[in-house]
């Protein structure tokens, strides 16, 4: 391999007083991996033993030619271009910038921008999947050039991508939520409701307020009345209707949601568990009909769409259709 002309190879014993051209990493299997010397560090005599310990008998002193950028500067410029709202940057470390979430929210990534950047030779942009719930300070993406120095023109091409910034985190809105639980077995007290505790815990985690839980028999009029109560009396922002979502003749929930005047976006979701989810809107108020699996499965179609509703997105049929690819979770 021919050494690039911008790199000068120097024995570590002869490098005292010289500046490192790039970060140096130490790896101790099972114990440590990280940067031990930073680019620009001035080598001292005390550094020589550690350099030899990490296998560095020679180091590179770099002279960046005109029209090129050092990996750290290139990474920082690209990261700033990608970062949107509620995203902050850390680094550079070993030529990489890390994008992190400033809040608990829903990650949104434009995959087109990621793909376009990665089509440029020498560029690496790697992210989490979009529409994922993230915590404050969670890492979202890593951005770096592959070579130690890179043409500035390539970095400018990244900075000029049309869809930037492409990584943001949306905050959850504090919604007022009404829960309508259907089913004669719960309404008559034959069995104890199990939906309420599960839903209240999920909503509390997002900072939303449960206005209350009301129960209805398996009758269209009764279910409609309880939905209207939360719309008209409580001014709910979101209504969750539990039970009665199967194909059994006694399950009237989908019909009641339609009869109350809601527009059904889709009844039936290409995801398992949770294929019997219903998504509808009564004006601007989302109504979700929840399948029984929400009680016992930790992650269902409800967990896919609830965070999106809670950041104020309106769920479309194409949103629902698209989750089939990768939607098998059983």
Domain ranges of the chain: 7-62, 68-171, 176-322
Q: 176-322 domain in CATH 3.40.980.10?
A: yes
Task: For residue range 178-215, list pLDDT tens digits in order.
Answer: 999 997 777 777 878 889 999 999 999 999 999 999 99
pLDDT of residue 2: 45
CATH number, domain 68-171: 3.90.1170.30
The C-alpha atoms of residue 67 and residue 153 are separated, in whole angstroms, by 8
CA angle 169, 141, 110 (to 5 degrees): 60
10-19, 134-143, 294-303, 305-314: least confident range: 10-19
Q: What is the CA radius of gyration of the chain?
A: 28
DSSP letter string over 37-102?
A: E-TTPBP-GGGHHHHHHTT-SEEEEE-PPTTEEEHHHHHHHHHHHHB-TTEEEEEEETTEEEEEES
- Mean per-residue pLDDT over the chain, rounded: 90
Best-predicted range by mean pLDDT among 62-66, 71-75, 183-187?
A: 71-75
CATH class of 7-62: alpha beta
Higher pLDDT, 100 or 40: 100
This prediction's pTM: 0.86
């Amino acid at each position: 391999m021919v050494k690039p002309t911008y790199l000068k190879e120097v024995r570590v014993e002869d490098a005292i007083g010289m500046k490192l051209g790039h970060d140096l990493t130490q790896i101790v299997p099972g114990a440590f991996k990280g940067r031990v010397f930073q680019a620009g560090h001035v080598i001292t005599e005390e550094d020589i033993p550690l350099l030899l310990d990490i296998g560095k008998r020679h180091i590179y002193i770099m002279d960046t030619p005109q029209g090129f950028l050092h990996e750290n500067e290139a990474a920082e410029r690209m990261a700033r271009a990608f970062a949107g709202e509620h995203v902050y940057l850390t680094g550079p470390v070993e030529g990489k910038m890390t994008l992190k979430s400033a809040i608990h929210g829903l990650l949104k990534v434009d995959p087109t921008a990621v793909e376009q950047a990665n089509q440029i030779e020498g560029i690496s942009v790697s992210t989490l999947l979009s529409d994922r719930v993230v915590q404050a300070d969670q890492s979202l993406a890593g951005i770096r050039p592959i070579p130690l120095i890179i043409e500035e023109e390539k970095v400018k091409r990244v900075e000029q991508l049309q869809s930037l910034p492409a990584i943001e985190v949306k905050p959850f809105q504090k919604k007022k939520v009404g829960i309508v639980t259907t089913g004669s077995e719960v309404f008559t007290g034959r069995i104890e409701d199990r939906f309420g505790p599960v839903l209240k815990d999920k909503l509390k985690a997002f900072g939303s307020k449960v206005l209350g839980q009301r129960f209805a028999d398996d009758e269209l009029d009764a279910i409609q009345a309880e939905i209207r109560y939360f719309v008209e009396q409580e001014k709910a922002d979101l209504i969750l209707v539990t039970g009665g979502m199967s194909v059994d003749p006694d399950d009237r929930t989908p019909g009641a949601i339609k009869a109350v005047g809601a527009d059904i976006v889709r009844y039936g979701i290409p995801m398992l568990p949770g294929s019997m989810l219903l998504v509808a809107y009564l004006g601007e108020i989302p109504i979700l009909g929840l399948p029984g699996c929400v009680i016992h499965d930790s992650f269902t179609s409800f967990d896919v769409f609830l965070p999106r509703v809670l950041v104020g997105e309106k769920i479309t049929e194409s949103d629902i259709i698209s989750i089939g690819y990768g939607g098998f979770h059983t």
